[in-house]
């Protein structure tokens, strides 16, 4: 007779396929420029060249014509796109879930809970979909004596096959053993004359009765004659062949238990199905839901939430303690160090390194990290220097990628942020790449107008960064053009897009710096608080909110220091707008 246990099961990960190591993403700022993309690619190549694995070049914004030209020129793929790195359920859930079916017995369930030290055990159906949970507290209720209800104390909701499994006994014969029924358990320890009196008094039908008895042949035969459902013989004792034959004639199941009467009675109770104690008020979540959102759902449950796939299959479990675990995914920030410019969710996971050439922001980390910040013209300059100092020669393609980021950010060594190190690194990279830097610069800067190639709302976000100073939030975008002709042809819709940007991001002001690469001059378009715009000392050009800025080409080294100095001056004067708070702007229609 097959008494295998199909009711307790687990859904582990494939043991032949170890879980992948969590990645470390190397990512530039939002709305990336060429230096942000190129430095991410180059630093990932540097890590690989040092034998370090698991580093992935990434981006948190769209490409543009200039970036596409660079990547095509050096046959590099666009980095992996990250829209949000907020911790997700799949980052923290427990996979390889131990679960149990609704037909499992209390004994089987308790064994799983004890063996795996589980507080809450999922209960699933035949399709591996969760239908509830069970815990040791739920199971404990089955074994609490109910002296006021002796009939219920005798009741066991299970099958005869489950009882035989729980007892680890031998079944001499089984009848309809798979049927899950309500049985009533009695010990046949009294005199034959009073054997059935109590059962009759409690109105317990014979065909629902299980009699536990030793080698008392008179009680055995009397119970069989009454038509009981099953007879359990304790202590492994033998039973007379005539009694077995009588039981067969009456379709009475006989099970031989290796335990004494008291132990046998207790074990039979543990063979009860868990069906009636399953807590069916559970919470389901998907693996891609944000942990921040799932935390709120724990107000609906004291236990755990079930993680299910699109078809409802159980794939994991998430407990209250899980949601406070550190996420294994890590970030390396390149070409920025301010959270306002970082990929969404960066403040919720570990930032392990920062490689940058901008001013220091207010970013805090939980532990010390590698932070390289140098006053050079490009992040690619810093990474090229790392290659050279380590004695590692990049491939010609990676050298070309670093050349491109350096050329783009320093305007081919003509920008005000250019340093001697930029020039040294560019020459070193050009020799490795076998590329003429002047020809590469011409190809990069002639790769298409951002203003012509994009709608106004994308133009103002193409290289867009948010800053905070004295409690005010403001944004400065920058595009580089060959002349100002394209801008003047689209000045009105671009100005409107800047205002929309300001309202959408709830900024005190928003600005766009349009830089002419040929003349090394710029125009600044500003939308925002009138008091701040009035403070700008550069000459107006045609409109009150467009300023001529001769010799200003660097947002980082020239424009941002100028704007922050204006804000600090107004703070000292007490003339900052709205007491350092941003007004509740409304979206323009």
Beta bridge partners of 319: 304
Residues of the chain with pLDDT under 50: 1-6, 8, 10-19, 147, 579-589
* pLDDT score for 586: 43
* pLDDT score for 579: 43
Strands 472-481 and 283-285, sheet pairing: unpaired
* pLDDT score for 300: 63
Residue 531, SS3?
A: helix
The CATH code that applies to domain 90-139+276-324 is 3.10.580.10
* pLDDT score for 166: 87
Output the DSSP codes for 210-247.
Answer: EEEE-S-HHHHHHHHHTT-SEEEE-TT----HHHHHHH
Q: Dig out the tokens for 213 from the structure.
A: 């008895």
Which residues, 6+ apart, have CB-to-CB distance to 530 below 8 Å? none
Residue 142, SS3?
A: helix
CATH architecture assignment, domain 160-272: 3-Layer(aba) Sandwich (3.40)
Q: Do the Cβ atoms of 340 and 359 come closer than 8 Å?
A: no
> How far apart are the two ends of the chain, measured CA to CA in Å?
77
The CATH code that applies to domain 450-580 is 3.10.310.20
For the chain, give every domain's residue range: 24-86+329-445, 90-139+276-324, 160-272, 450-580
DSSP letter (8 states) at residue 57: E
User: What confidence tens digit (pLDDT) does each residue in 351-409 have?
Assistant: 999 999 998 887 888 889 999 999 999 999 999 999 999 999 999 999 999 999 999 99
Domain 24-86+329-445 sits in which CATH superfamily?
A: inorganic pyrophosphatase (n-terminal core) (3.90.1640.10)
Name the residue among 430, 338, 416 with its Cα closest to residue 384: 430
Q: Do the Cβ atoms of 398 and 42 come closer than 8 Å?
A: yes
Residue 182, SS3?
A: strand
* pLDDT score for 467: 93
Residue 127, SS3?
A: coil
* pLDDT score for 583: 44
């Amino acid at each position: 007779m097959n008494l295998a246990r199909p009711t307790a099961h687990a859904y582990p990960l494939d043991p032949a396929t170890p879980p992948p190591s969590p990645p470390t993403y190397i990512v530039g700022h939002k709305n990336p420029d060429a230096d942000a993309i190129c430095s991410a690619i180059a630093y990932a190549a540097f890590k690989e060249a040092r034998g370090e694995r698991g580093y992935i070049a990434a981006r948190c914004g769209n490409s543009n014509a200039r970036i596409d030209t660079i990547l095509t020129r050096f046959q590099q793929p666009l980095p992996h796109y990250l829209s949000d790195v907020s911790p997700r359920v799949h980052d923290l859930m427990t996979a390889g879930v131990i679960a149990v079916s609704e037909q499992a017995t209390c004994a089987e369930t308790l064994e799983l809970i004890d063996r795996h030290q589980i507080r809450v055990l999922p209960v699933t159906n035949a399709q591996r979909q969760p239908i509830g949970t069970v815990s040791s507290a739920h199971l404990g209720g089955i074994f609490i004596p109910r002296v006021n209800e002796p009939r219920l104390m005798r009741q066991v909701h299970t099958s005869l096959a489950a009882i035989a499994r729980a007892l680890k006994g031998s079944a001499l014969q089984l009848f309809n053993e798979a049927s899950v029924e309500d049985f009533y358990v009695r010990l046949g320890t009294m005199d034959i004359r009073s054997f059935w009196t109590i059962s009759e008094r409690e109105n317990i039908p014979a065909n629902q009765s299980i009699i536990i008895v030793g080698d008392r042949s008179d009680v055995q035969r009397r119970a069989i004659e009454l038509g009981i459902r099953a007879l359990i013989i304790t202590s492994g004792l033998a039973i007379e062949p005539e009694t077995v034959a009588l039981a067969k004639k009456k379709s009475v199941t006989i099970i031989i238990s290796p335990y004494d009467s008291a132990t046998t009675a207790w074990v039979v109770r543990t063979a009860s199905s868990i069906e009636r104690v399953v807590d069916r008020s559970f919470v389901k979540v998907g693996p891609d839901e944000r942990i921040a959102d799932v935390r709120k759902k724990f107000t609906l449950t004291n236990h755990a939430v079930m993680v299910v796939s699109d078809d409802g299959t159980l794939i994991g479990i998430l407990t209250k303690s899980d949601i406070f675990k550190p996420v294994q995914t890590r970030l390396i920030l390149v070409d920025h160090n301010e959270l306002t410019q970082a990929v969404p969710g960066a403040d919720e996971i570990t930032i392990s390194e920062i490689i940058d050439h901008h001013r220091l922001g207010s970013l805090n980390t939980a532990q010390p990290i590698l932070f390289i910040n140098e006053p050079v013209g490009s992040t690619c300059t810093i990474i090229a220097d790392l290659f050279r100092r380590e004695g590692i020669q990049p491939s010609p393609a990676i050298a070309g990628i670093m050349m491109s980021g350096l050329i783009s950010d320093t305007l081919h060594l003509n920008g005000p942020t250019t340093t001697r190190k930029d020039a040294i690194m560019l020459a070193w990279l050009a020799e490795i790449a076998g590329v003429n830097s002047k020809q590469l610069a011409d190809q990069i800067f002639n790769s298409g107008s951002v203003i012509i190639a994009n709608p106004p709302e994308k133009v103002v976000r193409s290289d867009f960064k948010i800053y905070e100073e004295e409690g005010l939030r403001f944004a400065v975008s920058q595009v580089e053009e060959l002349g100002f002709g394209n801008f003047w042809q689209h000045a009105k819709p671009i100005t409107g897009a800047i205002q929309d940007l300001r309202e959408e991001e709830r900024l005190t002001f928003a600005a766009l710096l349009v830089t002419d690469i040929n003349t090394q001059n710029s125009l600044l378009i500003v939308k925002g608080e009138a008091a701040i715009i009035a403070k700008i000392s550069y000459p107006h050009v045609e409109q009150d909110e467009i300023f001529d800025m001769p010799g200003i080409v660097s947002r980082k080294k020239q424009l941002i220091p100028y704007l922050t100095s204006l804000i600090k001056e107004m703070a000292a004067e007490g003339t900052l707008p709205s007491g350092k708070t941003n007004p509740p702007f409304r979206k323009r229609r």
